Amino acid sequence: ELNEAPGAGEVESSPVTTQTQRRWRRGVPGAAEESSAAPAASSDVPPSQAPDTIAAVQLMDAISPKDPLGERVSRAQQEQLNIYDPRKLLRDDFDYGLTWDIAYARRPMGQTDQNLRNWRRDGTKRKVAEVLGLHRFGDLAKNVDSRILEGTVHVWLDNTPRSREGNAPAKGTYLLGRYDVVAAKAVADLDRDWKFIKHGLRRHFWVAHAAAINIGESRSASDFSDFSYPDRRHLDVGAYLEAMRHILENVVKAATALNVEHFVFLPFGMGAFIRHLQLKDSRFEDPRAMHWLRRSIAKELIGVLASRTEKRVQVHLCLAFNTGEASNNADAFLRALLDDGARALKPRTIIHTNGDCLELAQQLADEPYNWRTNVMLVNCANRTMLGNHWFEDGAAMAIDENLHR
């Protein structure tokens, strides 16, 4: 059981320049050698408890430094200007003193051939039915030999008071409590291109299923009412961020219990679950307010990884820069890593540009020098249906739908 632990208009992209040399060695803690220390990111957001996002937008405008008019600036100066200017989106055209893996930087994300996806998906369904002894996929699995799963699934149940509030408990259609964590052993059959992985022995890794908070998937976002003010029209940002932090703290506790040394992470809960927040709270119609929220979420999550993970744990952060939403999330995490609070985390964090979480987790597990270590991939799960709608079309890049590979 897990108990309470102690203790603005469009934002501009930074200019595209020549690709800088990145320093990277896979899987070796402390591999980053900072040739130039990046300055700490400016405090571009108000305290997370501030309910008024308009104040955040005004603050973002007020502290934005002016670019030197008519002056030629060096690459190092431009890097610093980007960091200190909250109007800029940090991208992968500077290294910012961080460690990068750019092996897949120019590779597309996800398989776009729906016919291939259908072929693989249907094969997975047949395999599941075969292993569970079902006549066909979808039949009730009531006579399954429990030894099939013995030792491969661990469940951590949150026992704090908040786990019994509102929609938090696992009841009704909810298979997973809001703050619970399910870790299952897995092995990848298909790579990022949905082609079979044919090399020799593949080692298992852990997938931690944890549910992010749904405050903006649609007008009927299931968790908004639990994290809004009494008027039911405005998000209580402080309560929401505190809950997101608590979820990741529980995931880290699970990782510690399983002796995990490689932690594969992504912008947790920053996709569909906040994508249409403006439909519930009109303050977030302003893109600057959404940038502020994304940066606040990332700062909370990175803060947990910095303060709660053990020093031997290598954090692998998969970020994409190929769409507007992905770029906004990447900017939020880069800024969070440059914050003073993440100083100890930076040397043991690798950013994988366009990295595929599932393939990366398998590669890390298969590395010869990792055979005595554990790898964990964090999945942003659907509480009512683990794997979400993986057996249907669509969601080509959503992690929950892709894990059935």
**Tens digit of pLDDT for each residue in 96-111?**
999 999 998 888 777 7
CB-based burial, 226-256: b 16+ in 10 Å, e otherwise? bbbeeeeebbbbebbbebbbbbbbbbbbbbe
pLDDT above 80 (res 144): no
pLDDT given at position 16: 35
Which pair of tokens denotes residue 397?
Answer: 């890049």
DSSP 128-185: HHHHHT-SSTTS---S--GGGGTTTEEEE-B-SGGGGSTT-SS-TT-SS-TT-EEEEE
pLDDT above 70 (res 69): no
Average pLDDT over residues 202-209: 93
pLDDT given at position 254: 97
Q: At what angle do helices 287-308 and 237-257 cross, to 10 degrees?
A: 30
> If you search the block for the tokens 């997975």, which residue do you land on?
124
Average pLDDT over residues 254-261: 96
pLDDT given at position 275: 94
Share of the chain above pLDDT 90, in %: 50
CA distances from 203 to 18, 151, 199, 226, 346 (A): 38, 15, 11, 40, 28
The answer to which of 42-46, 144-148, 311-315 has the lowest mean pLDDT is 42-46
pLDDT given at position 25: 37
pTM above 0.85, yes or no: no
pLDDT above 70 (res 311): yes
Are the CB atoms for 377 and 264 separated by under 8 Å? Answer: yes
Which pair of tokens denotes residue 41?
Answer: 């990111």
Provide the mean pLDDT of the chain: 81
C-alpha span between 243 and 54 (Å, rounded): 23
C-alpha span between 375 and 309 (Å, rounded): 13
Residue of 252, 248, 171, 182 lying closest to 213 (CA atoms): 248
pLDDT above 70 (res 120): yes
Torsion region of 24: left, alpha or beta (phi above 0 gives left; psi -120 to 50 gives alpha)? beta
CB-based burial, 152-181: b 16+ in 10 Å, e otherwise? eeeebebebebbeeebbebeeebbbbbbbb
C-alpha span between 96 and 347 (Å, rounded): 12
List Cβ neighbours of 306 (8 Å cut-off, separation of 6 or more): 341, 342, 343, 344, 345
The answer to which of 17-31, 175-189, 236-250 has the lowest mean pLDDT is 17-31
